[in-house]
Amino acid sequence: MDVTPPHRRSDATRAAILEAARDRFAQDGYDGATVRAIAGQAGIDPSMVIRYFGSKEGLFARVVDVALDIPDPARIPAEDLGRVLVTHFLELWERDGVLVTLLRVGVTNPAGAQRLRGVFRDQLVPAAERFGHDPADAPRRATLVASQILGMALLRYVLKFGPAAEMSRADVVAWLAPTVERYITSPEP
């Protein structure tokens, strides 16, 4: 898709804009993050943002592009399933601000919600199909797992509630792992 020559003189600026945008979107959401604030943080003029990314929406689309990289169930011992998955998701949320951005924007912006649904449908549900025994159950299992993971991420990384943010990662994993495991493997409540 990107057929432009690999080295442009403005690549540094583009990268600076993207980095600033990631930061501002994650911090302030879509409406809260103004083009002027992003440009200011990147140290350039607001008009450059538009020239390089077409529009604010175009920039946002570039920023929010996430691969969940859910591990292959075949390579996980059955008794470690919950622990491995929860650990993976925590790392995902802590890696960069993309998921925080996605959630922040998805909650207020219809287009953002659409994008969140896309991630759920294209990555989480298929993973649930690989994990569970009955593929028809996958959407429900994915929903249950997502509810627990999203809820903890919301408290811990978005709202930054004291008790949630201060829990050690090991504690979070220890408590959530059995829940997630049950949602995936148990045939009924």
Partner DNA sequence: GAGCATATGCCAACACCTGTTGACCTTGCG
Partner DNA sequence: CGCAAGGTCAACAGGTGTTGGCATATGCTC
Interface with DNA, residue 43, by CB under 7 A: yes
The full 3-state SS of the chain, as one line of letters, equals CCCCCCCCCCHHHHHHHHHHHHHHHHHHHHHHCCHHHHHHHHCCCHHHHHHHHCCHHHHHHHHCCCCCCCCCHHHCCHHHHHHHHHHHHHHHHHHCCHHHHHHHHHHHCHHHHHHHHHHHHHHHHHHHHHHCCCHHHHHHHHHHHHHHHHHHHHHHHHCCCHHHHHCCHHHHHHHHHHHHHHHHHCCCC
Subset of residues 27 to 66 that bind its own copies, contact rule: CB under 8 A: 28-29, 31-32
Interface with its own copies, residue 126, by CB under 8 A: no
* Shortest reach from residue 106's CB to DNA, in Å: 18
Give me 125's structure tokens.
Answer: 């549900």
- Of the candidate spans 51-59, 87-95, 123-131, 136-144, the one that interacts with DNA by CB under 7 A turns out to be 51-59
Interface with DNA, residue 55, by CB under 7 A: yes
Subset of residues 130 to 159 that bind DNA, contact rule: CB under 7 A: none
Interface with its own copies, residue 155, by CB under 8 A: yes
With CB under 5 to 8 Å by kind, the binding choice for 139 among DNA, its own copies, none is: its own copies
Contact mark string toward DNA, 6..35, x via CB under 7 A: --xxx-xx-------------------xxx
Which position among 15, 57, 134, 170 is part of the footprint of DNA (CB under 7 A)? 57
Interface with DNA, residue 114, by CB under 7 A: no
- 8 A C-beta contact, residue 165 and residue 156: yes
Which position among 69, 108, 130, 134 is part of the footprint of its own copies (CB under 8 A)? 108
Angle formed by the axes of helices 98-108 and 138-153, to 10°? Answer: 100
Interface with its own copies, residue 139, by CB under 8 A: yes
Interface with its own copies, residue 97, by CB under 8 A: no
Interface with DNA, residue 47, by CB under 7 A: yes
